[in-house]
Amino acid sequence: MSKTPLLTEIDHIAIAVHNLDEAVSFYEEAFGATVAHREIVERDGVEEALLKVADSYIQLTAATRPDSPIAKFLDKRGPGLHHVGYRVDSCEQALKSMVAAGATPIDAAPRPGSRNTTVAFIHPKGAFGTLIELVEE
Ligand code: CO
């Protein structure tokens, strides 16, 4: 079955860290990377630092409160790869297509993300163990 391709770019890979400044310093020292964008997203309880790589980002993510999903992830598993952001032209269309393909949405409908994007998360169960974030710029 041939379908219209919906993915336009790997938007970001998100890495959960305990200390954002420490992680940023490491990436600066190791790769000469610079922070293109830094933002606190209150509703998700996270602070993100985005390092631009070509047209994608490495997103270092720390918790801003102990009950946020990132804090729970860090408690349970420690720092590490948290999710992959797939860039799409239409978050709504990609979400519908994923659900039609059998994926389980975390967000029932697209919602605001960081960088003024529109996003929706898909549960790792039903997506080969990968927490997927659909990102519409
Ligand atoms: Co993300």
Q: By residue range, what is the domain housing residue 114?
A: 7-136
Instruction: Give tens-digit pLDDT for 22-48.
Output: 999 999 999 999 999 999 999 899 999
Task: Tell me, in angstroms, the distance from the centre of ligand 1 to residue 15's CA.
Answer: 9
Q: CA torsion 45→46→47→53, rounded to 10°? A: -150
- Domains held by the chain: number: 1
Residue 1 inside a domain? The answer is no
For residues 114 and 86, the model is more confident at 86
Instruction: Give tens-digit pLDDT for 84-104.
Output: 999 999 999 999 999 999 999
User: pLDDT confidence of 130, banded at 50, 70, 90?
Assistant: very high
Residue 1 is predicted with a pLDDT of: 61
Task: Tell me, in angstroms, the distance from the centre of ligand 1 to residue 98's CA.
Answer: 17
Residue 63 has pLDDT above 80, yes or no: yes
Task: Tell me, in angstroms, the distance from the centre of ligand 1 to residue 7's CA.
Answer: 15
Residue 2 is predicted with a pLDDT of: 72
Task: Tell me, in angstroms, the distance from the centre of ligand 1 to residue 122's CA.
Answer: 11
Residue 85 is predicted with a pLDDT of: 98
The Cα–Cα gap between 127 and 1 comes to 19
Task: Tell me, in angstroms, the distance from the centre of ligand 1 to residue 85's CA.
Answer: 5
Residue 135 is predicted with a pLDDT of: 98
Residue 115 inside a domain? The answer is yes
Residue 133 is predicted with a pLDDT of: 98
Residue 118 inside a domain? The answer is yes
Cβ neighbours around 86 below 10 Å, total = 20
Instruction: Supply the CATH number for residue 63's domain.
Output: 3.10.180.10
pTM for the model stands at: 0.93
Residue 47 inside a domain? The answer is yes
Residue 39 is predicted with a pLDDT of: 95
Residue 125 has pLDDT above 80, yes or no: yes
Residue 2 inside a domain? The answer is no
Nearest alpha carbon to residue 20 among 47, 43, 41, 42? 47
Strands across the sheet containing 132-136 = 35-41, 46-53, 56-63, 7-16, 80-88, 132-136, 118-122, 111-112
Task: Tell me, in angstroms, the distance from the centre of ligand 1 to residue 32's CA.
Answer: 22
The Cα–Cα gap between 98 and 87 comes to 14
Task: Tell me, in angstroms, the distance from the centre of ligand 1 to residue 2's CA.
Answer: 28
Contact 91, 105 (CB under 8 A): no
Task: Tell me, in angstroms, the distance from the centre of ligand 1 to residue 30's CA.
Answer: 22
Task: Tell me, in angstroms, the distance from the centre of ligand 1 to residue 82's CA.
Answer: 9
b/e map 13-48, b = 16+ CB within 10 Å: ebbbbeebeebbeebeeeeebeeeeeeebeebbbbb
Residue 4 has pLDDT above 90, yes or no: no
